[in-house]
Structure 1
Amino acid sequence: MGKKARKTGRGRPSSIDQLPEDLRLQLNADLRDRRKTQTEIVEGINEALQGRGERRLSKSAVNRYSLAIEEKGAMMREAREAANALVGGLEEQKGTDLGRALTEMVKTFAFDIVANGGEQNLDTLKDLALITQRVEKASKISLEREAVIRKEAIENAAETVEETAKQMGMDSDQASFWRERVLKGM
C-alpha cells in the first residue's frame, strides 16, 4: 500500500512533545548517542520523570519518535545529496550573495521535492541549479576582471608616484621607495 495520509489539524500533543524542555533535549542527545540502547534511554528519562512526579514515557512512544527523526534525517541527507549533485561545488567558491542565495534555494527546493516524494518539480529544480551555476560563473569572471583592473590601476598609480617623485627632485632610491609603498597597498 501507499504512504499514510497526513493528518490535518493540530491533534493531541505526543508524550514526547509534553516532556519538559530539558528532558526533551536530553532525549534527543541520547538518541544521537549510538552507544545507548532505546531501553537504556527510556529508563533514564523515566527515572528523571519519576523524580519530578511526572508521567512515564512508553517505549513505543520513544520508538515512534526515533523513527520519525531518522526518517526526516534520511530525507535531509537525500535532499542535500541531490542538491550537491545538481549544484556541484559552488559552495566552495566565493561568489556573490545572489549566488549563495540561489544555491540555498536549490537545496531547499530539493528538500521539498524529496520530502513530498514527488518528481513533478524535478525539471524546475534542474533549471534553478543551471541558473545558479551560470550566476556563479558570471560572478567569478566579474570578480577576476575587477581584480585585474584594480591591479593595473595600482601599478599605474605607482608609476605616476615614482615619476612625480623624480620630477620633484628625489633621487632614484627615494622615488623607488615611494613606488614600492604604493604597490604594497595592493
Structure 2
Amino acid sequence: MTDKTDNPTRGRRSKIDLLPDDVKQLLDGLLRDGKNSQQEVLQAVNEYIEQQGLPEDLKPSRSGLNRYSSRMEAIGKDLRDVREVSQALVAQLGDKPTGEVSKLILEIGRTQLFKAMMNANEKDGEVDIGMIKDAMLAAQRLESAAMSSHKREKEIRKAFADEAAKVAETVAKKAGMTAETVSSIKKEILGIV
C-alpha cells in the first residue's frame, strides 16, 4: 500500500479549486466559451482578481490553468461521450422492455467499477484495502440490483401472460371454440406444457 505522506500534494485542492465562486465562474465561462486562448483566459482572470482587490497569491499560474483546463476538457469529453451513447441506446431500445435498459445500466456499472479498479492499480501500483472494500460493496450492490431486476422482469412477464391468457380465453369462447382448444391456447400463452 502506498504511503500517503510520500506525496504531499495528494488530496490537496488546486489553487484554481480554491478560487472564490465569482472568479471560478468567470474562469469556467471563459473556458467553456472556447473563443479565447488559455493565455487570454489567464490574463482576464488575473485582471479580474486585481480589479476585485483580491490577494495576488490567488492568481493561477499558466501551468495550473493548463492542468485545470485539461481536466475539465477530459470530464467534458466523458460527459459528451456518455450523452451520445445514452441517446443512441435510448433510440435503439426505444419501446423495448425496461429489463433491457436495466441490464444495460448494470453492465455500464460493472464496466466503470472495473475501470476504476484498474486505474487505481496503475496509479499506485497497488489497490488499497479501502478501494477493494468499496469495490466489493459496489459489486455486491450491482449484483443485488441485477437479481432484483431479473425477478421484477419475470413478474412483469408472468402478469402479462396471465392477462393475455384471460383475453385469449374470452375471445376464444366468444368465437365458439371448444373448451379443449381454449385450454390449449391458454397453456401456450402461459408456457405450460
What TM-score results when the alignment is normalised by the length of structure 1?
Answer: 0.47
Q: Max radius of gyration: which structure?
A: 1
| Bigger helix share | 2
